[in-house]
Amino acid sequence: MFSEMKKEFQIHVETMIEEQNHLFVTSADPDKLWELYLESFLPEHNQIFREKREHDCSGCKSFIRKFGNVVAISAGKIISIWDFETSQPEYNPSIKAMADYIHQSEVVDVFLADDQNQGHDKDREKLGKEIITWEHFYFKLPKRFILSKDKTVLNKKRAEYRDTRNVFLRSLNEITVAAVDTVLELIDQKSLYRGEEWKGILQKFQTLQEEFVEVNLFGEEINTLDNWAWTVSILAGPVIGKIRNHSIGVLLQDISKEVDLNIALRKYEKIVAPTNYKRPKAIFTKKMIQQAQEKVVSLGFENSLGRRHAIIEDITVNNILFANKDSIQRMANNLDVFNDLTQTVSDKLPNLEHIESVDSDTFINDVLPNLTEVTILMENRLEPNLVSLIAPADKNAPTMFKWANPFSWAYNGNIADSMKQRVAKAGGNINGDLRFSIMWNENGDNNNDFDAHAKEPNGNHIYFPTKGEKHISSGMLDVDIMNPFSIHQVPDGGAAVENIVWTDKNKMPNGKYSLYIHNYSHNGGRSGFSAEIEFDGVIHQFNYDKELRQDEEIPVAEVFFENGKFKINPILPSTTTSKTFWNVSTQKFHPISTVMFSPNYWDNQNGIGHRHVFFMINNCLNDSKPNGFFNEFLPETLLEHKRVFEALGSKMRVPEATNQLSGIGFSTTKRNYVILKVMGNFDRAIKVNF
């Protein structure tokens, strides 16, 4: 009789979970369930056998207490493992009592198992010569429900699911449909920094908002909305489920609370945008445009708005710190020979170990005046320092800037966050002698906890337990991200990084450095990672596009260090990043045509704002159509219309040109350096520090 009921029970559970990828646990008390099962039999069906009642079985008790309150959710309603009727009538009262009790409870957790076997199938007992088989409640789960045998991992995952579900409901209750519409409109207008990354996510969230309203209005049972939230939050994933906790969620909540849109945007940009970010499309009204236009006309700046790339003929000799002979000739005689300049590129890099180092003032005042030729080492790290000098399209137009000339400048503003930039943004050191960095979750879909590991030749192990500890070798793990979806660890909701850096090769032991990645906690992420190893100014890149299993280790490379020199043995396929930016290839020296201060320090001005030093490179061609100007260049008389001028600066973009002054720029207020080869009284390589 029990065996027949057991088969029907197993068929029911198989049917119940057939379309399910997740099961859930209710608040039903396991001890109460067992009591209902035992006490609901009619007395004649549960008589004393030996010392206990017939159905008072320790195996069945363990099963019911562990698995009895597991349910599936379908269309917002729970399905209990007891929602069936057996052909064995004596069991129906107990099964119904447990089912009724389950349906009076609420879902409180996701069911995660450490073993396929739920319960103990059967026991055998020998009585004399007879062998008796005792059947128990038992079910074998499909493998998709088994996460790990580590209880710590299981508890952590349950907590993540609970947290995602709770935040998901808060997001739906606190973020209005109108707020999502507004942010999507800003994204379409290109007015939101990195807004495109959120567009698809917001559209999915918007669909869930519509479902939420429908379920809230028409859900028949009291727990329908909560049950819906459990299933949908898991399918949506933690990025959508925890959207209020991300940077975009801050903006959505502020708009939902009817905070002034520009204030809300500034708050958002403060979280996610770099310090020099200028919103490409300002928020303004037609009336604001009309008022700004009237101001431009009244000040005579109509012809000052058009901008173009500056050329060497625009510049007077007194505003040049250095010029090669071709540039001097053009400034003096206005000869159009710029495009005939030949670019001499040296593939041979000097030994940088004992290179002379000078500060920027010493270089400008004492070294530069005695030089006849200067070449610059274009390194990958200098991509953000690419700069163009901008002139008015109308040479006779008055200046509309704070300084007395109509020239401006624009740094490279179209760079996506590189791994190196992400590491620096997370507080990592990117300027060591040897750097090992990893990055994952670039698409917002991988919440795994990947760890960077380094084993040194002496056996020393650098990884997360030693974060922030500087080892004898000068090696240190300085960035360790455990939860890529955490707004506290990754405020902009982007890629996660980790970083190990050695800052002093004189302290590094000779031998092999093994660099690898370990998946410490598999939290549902299916994508892989990318990695960088940098030494001697060269970056070696690695990509691994497969899913990492729990506790899987992936070797990246071995770096051999001997007598102050590095050599790499890639284990994963790698590329050495010799790139081309603005027609200038990296890891090579390029001739400099001119060296100058930024226009705000021309004509012997004391200077307004920060001073920059520009190294203009032969045949460096900005192909990004930079902004014509930025608001920080404008005088107070125009800043009352700053939102409109912000839009104008973006609209009046500089057209591409084959004749232009572009190169590498450095602010004298920010720490940086550049490697130069200089020729004059004697030839040498030097490092100029800013």
Q: What is the pLDDT of residues 212-257, one digit of tens each?
A: 888 776 655 557 888 889 999 988 888 899 999 998 999 999 989 9
Nearest to 612 by CA among 658, 549, 668: 668
Q: Which residues pair with 511 in a beta bridge?
A: 561
pLDDT for 420 beyond 90 = no
**CB-CB neighbours of 283 under 10 Å:** 18
Least confident of 99-103, 143-147, 342-346, 351-355: 342-346
Nearest to 577 by CA among 424, 416, 380: 380
Which tens digit of pLDDT belongs to each residue from 573-601? 766 556 788 998 887 899 999 999 999 89
Q: What is the spatial distance between Cα 461 and Cα 163, in angstroms, rounded to a whole number?
A: 34
Which residue in the block uniquely carries the two structure tokens 């460096």? 620
Q: What is the spatial distance between Cα 300 and Cα 304, in angstroms, rounded to a whole number?
A: 8
pLDDT for 461 beyond 90 = yes
**CB-CB neighbours of 60 under 10 Å:** 23
Strand, helix or coil for residue 669 = coil
607-622 average pLDDT score: 89
pLDDT for 288 beyond 70 = no
Q: Is 449 exposed, middle or buried (0-12, 13-18, 19+ CB in 10 A)?
A: buried
Q: What is the spatial distance between Cα 241 and Cα 452, in angstroms, rounded to a whole number?
A: 28
- Please enumerate in sequence order all residues whose Cβ is within 8 A of that of 15, keeping only pairs 6 or more positions apart, or say none: none
Q: Please state the φ and ψ torsions of residue 541, each to the nearest 5 degrees.
A: -105, 145
Taking a C-beta distance cutoff of 8 angstroms, is the pair 617, 663 a contact?
A: yes
Please state the domain extents for the chain.
2-145, 151-272, 288-412+582-689, 419-577
Which tens digit of pLDDT belongs to each residue from 538-585? 778 888 988 999 999 999 999 999 999 999 999 987 665 567 889 988
More confident residue, 690 or 93: 93
More confident residue, 251 or 445: 251
Q: Compute the chain's Rg from CA coordinates.
A: 34
Confidence of residue 52 (pLDDT cuts 50, 70, 90): low
Q: What is the spatial distance between Cα 670 and Cα 690, in angstroms, rounded to a whole number?
A: 7
Q: What is the spatial distance between Cα 192 and Cα 185, in angstroms, rounded to a whole number?
A: 9
Q: Is 183 exposed, middle or buried (0-12, 13-18, 19+ CB in 10 A)?
A: buried
Q: What is the spatial distance between Cα 157 and Cα 164, in angstroms, rounded to a whole number?
A: 11
Half-sphere exposure of 132 (CA within 13 A, CB side): 5
Q: Which residues pair with 501 in a beta bridge?
A: 435, 476
Nearest to 615 by CA among 333, 377, 443: 377
Task: Indicate if the alpha-carbon torsion angle 319, 320, 326, 328 is positive or negative.
Answer: positive
> 477: which 2 tokens?
């793990």
**CB-CB neighbours of 509 under 10 Å:** 12
Least confident of 418-422, 508-512, 613-617: 418-422
pLDDT at 1: 81
CATH of domain 419-577: 2.60.60
